[in-house]
Chains A and B, each alone.
Chain A
Amino acid sequence: DALLPAPQNISILSTNMKHFLTWSPVIVQGETVRYSVEFQGEYEREYANESWIPICECSVITATVCNITEDISATVAYNLRVRADVGARRSEWGTLKGFFNRITTSLTPPLMKVIADGYHLLVELEDMGPAFQFCVLYWKKGQESRMQQKVVKEVSSVIHLDAMEAGPDYCVKAQTYVEAINRSSSFSQTQCVRAQGNSQSVWL
């Protein structure tokens, strides 16, 4: 039996603290190839004899992607590896080139819905999980120098920002902040609304 090749092109897709390991499929004509994934944190490398830990949700799977979010739960450097199995044949481990540290996750601006409820300026933010806080900036159009800020630590429901005067537009933009990695996303697009008798909202 020819040796089974190790999985190649192993890489991480990490956005908004959700981390996925992906790799290219190993092709064996007429056979179903299965894969298994293991990880190794800095603790394992330095204090536990460089041991590896299997991810059981990604053991003998046919998919070429594995959600490793739950296991990458510290801001340290992780090693990741994948191997292939066909019947009794097993490949060598294919290992991610370099380490992965969640501090490199890409952070996108939050989805935001600005609501003018009569004379009340409200905002609704996307729930992105417990790791996320939000910084919301709001101001009267033309008075950017008097911008106000509200930090939202938990997204529960609609957030009340301010009482509006009739007439001018009120503008809002928001960014996320992840305390665990001490980083922020860029700001969302600015959305402006105007106080009215009836409710008016913009969802972008």
Chain B
Amino acid sequence: SVTEIRSGFTAIKANIQARDPIRTLSILSYPHSLHKVKSSDRCCITHHLFNFYVDKVFKHCKTEDSYVNRKISSIANSFLSVKRKLGQCHEQNKCTCGQESTEKFKQILVNYEGLNVTSAAIKSLGELDILLDWLEKSR
């Protein structure tokens, strides 16, 4: 659940964000904040983002700290559990993608691929609170 993801992330947030030296760039919020996404597009963006984190981000976030690795595993497995549920919505056409959300997600991928893979993954993980805040606000 989002609550458990939040508590797992809070435990390692400072550690992960300290590993991200590039403070001037954002993966999720450039050029527009997630909060600008229309409510009709929220499900689609959420579905895309959970796939993005599971497929691309977590596997490149391994650290030398076993406690941090365990927390990343907790978050990743929680994301996988939520991703499955969102996948069911998507299959039942309850999570359709409009033009705006498609563009927004493309931009996130452009931001991600603009950095080397480890930096991009660590930065994306460090921005989890942006995603979680947006998810909780748009509930």
Contact = CB atoms under 8 A, between A and B. Distances in A.
A84 B73 CA distance: 24
Contacts, number: 59
B71 to A, nearest CB: 9
Interface residues of A, number: 22
Interface stretch (A3-11, A71-79, A90-98): A71-79
B80 A46 contact: yes
A74 to B, nearest CB: 4
Contacts of A31: none
Contacts of A47: 54-55, 58-59, 76, 80
Interface string B28-60: 000000000000000000000000001100110
Contacts of A70: 70, 74
Interface in A8-57: 39, 41-44, 46-48, 53-56
Contacts of A75: 81
Contact of B77 (A76, A179, A180): A76
Nearest to A39: B73
A56 B81 CA distance: 25
A115 to B, nearest CB: 30
B77 A42 contact: yes
B66 interface: yes
B111 interface: no
B54 A71 contact: no
Contacts of B78: 73-74
B70 A55 contact: yes
A43 B76 CA distance: 6
A135 to B, nearest CB: 18
Given A53-B73, A180-B1, A76 B8 contact: no
A42 B80 contact: yes
A41 B73 contact: yes
Contact of B73 (A46, A56, A71, A130): A71
Contact of A71 (B58, B70, B79, B81): B70
B77 A74 contact: yes
B60 to A, nearest CB: 10
Nearest to A179: B1
Interface in B49-100: 54-55, 58-59, 66-67, 69-70, 73-74, 76-81
A39 B80 CA distance: 16
A93 B80 CA distance: 26
Among B1, B8, B55, B73: residue with most chain A CB under 10 A: B73
A71 to B, nearest CB: 6
B52 to A, nearest CB: 12
Interface of A: 39, 41-44, 46-48, 53-56, 70-71, 73-76, 78, 130, 179-180
25 contacts: A41-B73, A42-B77, A43-B54, A43-B58, A43-B73, A43-B79, A44-B76, A46-B80, A47-B54, A47-B55, A47-B76, A47-B80, A53-B66, A55-B70, A56-B67, A70-B70, A71-B73, A73-B8, A73-B78, A74-B4, A74-B77, A74-B80, A78-B77, A180-B1, A180-B4
